[in-house]
Amino acid sequence: MLTHHRRPVCLSLISTNLPLWSSLETAATLYQRDSERFHLLLKQPPFPETLTPLNPASPPGQDGLLWLELSPYRVIMTMQGNDKIGYRHFWEQGVYGISRYWLHGDHNEQYNTLRLRNYTRSLELIGTPLPYSLRIEYELWSDQLQLGQYVLSLEIHH
């Protein structure tokens, strides 16, 4: 039976070798699929809009919907619903997963995809019966070029 819980969360992404740090605090809905599988659904705030001389009054961006499929063995994170970008990351400890990005053009049918690999060095989901912490350490790769080392951290407050 699918049960759900509304919880405040903090999601952060930190690069350990680049000057990158981002954090999001919001409310999320945690759905329990079975004893070890969960879905977490939250709204991602809009990406900042850039004003250009050709587009001085660009409309505000649309919020994206961030969906995480959690288990102690693998995590899939998907962002959809944003009119500019979408992405899906697949992490499994010790495995090269896929990170895919969809960049939307001016018309909804136009988009470009970017496919990268990520190597998951560590994946830890903590909490029973409901998870309260997730930590993923991974490397992002494009062919033979490493694009950084990252830590994705999720805190689910009870």
- Strand partners of residue 75: 70, 91
- Asked whether residue 67 is domain-assigned, the answer is yes
Residue pair 1/27 in contact by the 8 Å Cβ criterion: no
Give the integer Cα–Cα distance in Å for 41 and 88.
14
126: containing domain: 3-46+62-156
CA dihedral 133, 4, 73, 128 (to 10 degrees): 60
Instruction: Please give the tally of structural domains in the chain.
Output: 1
Q: Report pTM.
A: 0.84
How far, in Å, are 46, 74, 120, 121, 128 from residue 96 at the CA level?
29, 12, 7, 9, 28
- Asked whether residue 71 is domain-assigned, the answer is yes
Q: What is the pLDDT of residue 46?
A: 53
Q: What is the pLDDT of residue 63?
A: 66
- Asked whether residue 103 is domain-assigned, the answer is yes
CATH number at residue 147: 2.40.128.20
- Asked whether residue 55 is domain-assigned, the answer is no
For the chain, residues with pLDDT lower than 70 are 1-2, 44-63, 82-83, 105-111
Residue pair 97/90 in contact by the 8 Å Cβ criterion: yes
- Asked whether residue 106 is domain-assigned, the answer is yes
Q: What is the pLDDT of residue 123?
A: 98
Q: What is the pLDDT of residue 66?
A: 92
